Amino acid sequence: MTKIKINSARTKAGSTPQLSILIIGGGASGMAAAISARKGAESRGIKAGACKITIVERNPGFGAKIRISGGGKCNVTHEGSPEEFLLKGFMRLNEQRFLRNAIYGFSGGDLLDLLLSKGVTTEIRPDGKIFPDSGEASSVANAFERMLSDAAVEEISSCRVLGVERVDNRFLVTLPGATLMADAVILATGGVSYRKTGTTGDGLAIARKLGHTIIEPSAALTPLHTTHPLSSSLSGLALRSCSLVAEGKGKRVGRRGDLLFTHRGFSGPAALSLSRDIGELLKESGRISLFVDLFPEQSPAELDRLLLMQGRKNGAQMVRKFLQGCPIAPPEEGFSTSPHGTIPTALVPMILRHAALESEVTWSTLQKEKRVALLGVLKKFPLGTVRELSLDAGEVSAGGVCLGEVNPKTMQSRVVPNLYISGELLDYAGEIGGFNLQAAFSTGWLAGMHAAKSLALPERPGTP
Ligand X SMILES: Cc1cc2nc3c(=O)[nH]c(=O)nc-3n(C[C@H](O)[C@H](O)[C@H](O)COP(=O)(O)OP(=O)(O)OC[C@H]3O[C@@H](n4cnc5c(N)ncnc54)[C@H](O)[C@@H]3O)c2cc1C
Q: Which residues bind ligand X (CB under 6 A)?
A: 24-30, 56-59, 64-66, 68-70, 74-75, 160-161, 188-190, 193-194, 198-199, 202-203, 395-396, 423-424, 434-437, 440
Q: How far is the CB of 424 from ligand X (least distance, A)?
A: 4
Q: How far is the CB of 66 from ligand X (least distance, A)?
A: 6
Query: Which residues are paired to 413 by β-bridges?
Result: 406
Distances (CA, A) of 85 to 67, 231, 238, 443: 23, 37, 26, 14
Q: How far is the CB of 446 from ligand X (least distance, A)?
A: 13
Angle at 89 (CA atoms; ends 87, 94), nearest 5 degrees: 65
26 vs 217, which CB is nearer to ligand X? Answer: 26
122 vs 342, which CB is nearer to ligand X? Answer: 122
58 vs 320, which CB is nearer to ligand X? Answer: 58
Burial of 303 (0-12, 13-18, 19+ CB in 10 A): buried
Q: How far is the CB of 408 from ligand X (least distance, A)?
A: 16
Contact 351, 292 (CB under 8 A): no
157 vs 342, which CB is nearer to ligand X? Answer: 157
The identity of residue 284, as a single letter, is: E
322 vs 445, which CB is nearer to ligand X? Answer: 445
How many residues does this entry show for the chain? 464
Q: For residues 378 and 223, what is the distance between their CA atoms, to the nearest angstrom?
A: 23
Those residues with Cβ within 8 angstroms of residue 412's Cβ, 6 or more apart along the chain or in another chain: 406, 418, 419, 420, 447, 450, 451, 454
180 vs 378, which CB is nearer to ligand X? Answer: 180
2 vs 299, which CB is nearer to ligand X? Answer: 2
Q: For residues 75 and 69, what is the distance between their CA atoms, to the nearest angstrom?
A: 7
Which candidate, 269, 337, 259, 335, places its Cα nearest to that of 293?
A: 259
Q: How far is the CB of 91 from ligand X (least distance, A)?
A: 15
Which candidate, 146, 116, 191, 131, places its Cα nearest to that of 31?
A: 146
Q: For residues 11 and 14, what is the distance between their CA atoms, to the nearest angstrom?
A: 9
The identity of residue 49, as a single letter, is: G
Go through 251-263 and write b for each residue having 16 or more CB atoms within 10 A of its CB, e for each that does not.
Answer: eebbbbbbbbbbe
Q: How far is the CB of 211 from ligand X (least distance, A)?
A: 18
Strands 178-182 and 224-225: unpaired
Q: How far is the CB of 179 from ligand X (least distance, A)?
A: 14
- The DSSP symbol for 326 reads P
18 vs 397, which CB is nearer to ligand X? Answer: 397
Q: How far is the CB of 159 from ligand X (least distance, A)?
A: 6
Q: How far is the CB of 30 from ligand X (least distance, A)?
A: 6
43 vs 174, which CB is nearer to ligand X? Answer: 174
Contact 31, 62 (CB under 8 A): yes
66 vs 318, which CB is nearer to ligand X? Answer: 66
Go through 117-141 and write b for each residue having 16 or more CB atoms within 10 A of its CB, e for each that does not.
Answer: eeebebeeeeebbbbbebebbbbbb
57 vs 183, which CB is nearer to ligand X? Answer: 57
111 vs 278, which CB is nearer to ligand X? Answer: 111
3-state SS, residue 401: strand
Q: Which residue is nearest to ligand X (CB)?
A: 27
Q: How far is the CB of 111 from ligand X (least distance, A)?
A: 11
Q: How far is the CB of 417 from ligand X (least distance, A)?
A: 22
Q: How far is the CB of 347 from ligand X (least distance, A)?
A: 29
Contact 109, 420 (CB under 8 A): no
Those residues with Cβ within 8 angstroms of residue 7's Cβ, 6 or more apart along the chain or in another chain: 149, 154, 155, 156, 157
Which candidate, 396, 398, 422, places its Cα nearest to that of 98?
A: 422
Go through 148-168 and write b for each residue having 16 or more CB atoms within 10 A of its CB, e for each that does not.
Answer: beebbbbbbbbbbbeebeeee
